[in-house]
Amino acid sequence: MKSIGTPSQIVLAEDNPADVGLVTEALREHQIPHELRVISDGEEALAFIDLLNQDSKLPCPDVLLLDLHLPKHDGGEILKHLQASERCGRTPVVVLTSSDAVWDRQVGDPDRGVRYFRKPASLGQFMQLGRIVKEVIDRGR
């Protein structure tokens, strides 16, 4: 368990620089003390999970913000790889996508700590991601 005030380890798997900026702003707006690691493609995300499995000194993220549509490997594959991890398989995940397709909403299982966030068109709605991340982190404390 982390103590309150300790920066949360947040990993953002996102290939769109504009969305990275919006996520950063949402975290700042909701005053979430954090260290953010940005991963820009699926291959790098899978390698990061493998690194976490190999090096027990590296902390598992407090939350993974996962874009479903990444280059090289998609978010569904990354989610399965993470959930299969012995060390970090219980890491909460917030799936991010601009799609409203039913199959995208089915990628995550809320019982396994997966939330779904549809990237909205308005800035105000996007900032609500910070509230969701804060809830997920607070639940894990």
Whole-model pTM?
0.90
pLDDT (0 to 100) of residue 139:
86
106-116 pLDDT, tens digit per residue, is 555 555 568 88
Spell out, as residue ranges, where the chain has pLDDT lower than 50. Answer: none
Instruction: Tell me which residue of 4, 34, 3 sits closest to 133, measured CA to CA.
Output: 34
Residue with tokens 């909205």: 120
Show the domains of the chain with their CATH numbers: 14-140 (3.40.50.2300)
Q: Which long-range contacts (CB under 8 A, 24 or more apart) does 15-18 make?
A: 15/40, 15/41, 15/67, 15/70, 15/71, 16/67
Q: How does pLDDT run across 85-97, given as a tens digit for each residue? A: 999 999 999 999 8
